[in-house]
Homo-oligomer: A and B are copies of this chain.
Amino acid sequence: MSDITAPPRPLAAPRKRNAEATRAAILEAAKSHFAVLGYDCAILRDIARDAGVDVALVKRYFGGKEALFVEALRASFLSDALRTWDRATFARDMANMLAGSPHADEDRTHRFQFLLRAATSPNTAPLLNVLVQDRFLEPIRSWLGGADADARARVLAASYIGFLVERLIRGEALVGRERDVFVDRVTVIFDALLSEPVGSI
């Protein structure tokens, strides 16, 4: 279906028989493939080949493609970085991160690519609802606190996603005046989202 060649991944040296290791290898390859190609275009055979195993083992260890996907998605969202943010500087820090730096967090980008691809395929979008709710929206919500935290979390998450997409498309980090303008604008947005509603909105 896809004419895109499989993602680069060094084929591991032949393992001794080890269920846990092969399971992990499959999961790792799956995360990579699903992130780059999306659920629909990712091919179990290729994933298995990169993991250095036979396709049938995917069934044995995970049950099927969809189950493997869910597992890979879960595994990609283990770390919860949100609680370490400082509310006072959150907006500007976030803006700076989104503007990009030469030493940007590769892992974060990768994980997010996964999320985005999963969100935009009709096959996997339904699976995402729960996960996003539990591991993304809910943390943001409780971190925000205050009135209408739910709706505000929604907007915050949406903005965050949008800038990450833009970052992915853009590729390179911003510099100079363009960066300054970008950071200022984004800071305003996130600051507005942190504040509680005023008046009778």
Query: B-contacting residues of A (Cβ < 8 Å)?
Result: 1-4, 36-38, 40-41, 116-117, 119-123, 125, 128-129, 132, 148, 150-152, 154-155, 157-166, 168-171, 174, 177-182, 184-186, 188-189, 192-193, 197, 201
Given A151-B181, A152-B181, 12 more A-B residue pairs with CB atoms under 8 Å apart are A41-B121, A41-B123, A120-B165, A120-B168, A129-B170, A148-B181, A151-B177, A155-B186, A158-B166, A159-B159, A159-B163, A162-B163
**Is A1 within 8 A of B159, CB to CB?**
no
Q: A165: which B residues are within 8 A, CB to CB? A: 116, 119-120, 158, 161-162, 165
Q: In chain B, what residue has the closest Cβ to A98?
A: B158
Interface of A, helix, strand, loop or mixed by DSSP = helix
What is the count of identical protomers in the complex? Answer: 2
Given A40-B41, A41-B121, A169-B132, A158–B150 Cβ distance below 8 Å? no
Contacts A/B (CB < 8 Å), 20 sampled: A2-B123, A38-B121, A41-B122, A41-B123, A117-B120, A119-B165, A120-B120, A125-B171, A129-B171, A151-B181, A151-B185, A152-B181, A152-B185, A154-B182, A155-B189, A157-B166, A161-B166, A162-B165, A185-B192, A192-B192
Q: A192: which B residues are within 8 A, CB to CB? A: 185, 188-189, 192
Contact partner, A120, options B116, B160, B163, B178, Cβ 8 Å: B116
Q: A3: which B residues are within 8 A, CB to CB? A: 123
Q: A189: which B residues are within 8 A, CB to CB? A: 155, 159, 189, 192-193
Interface centre among A120, A169, A171 (most CB of B within 10 A): A169
Q: A197: which B residues are within 8 A, CB to CB? A: 181, 184
Contact partner, A158, options B155, B163, B181, Cβ 8 Å: B163
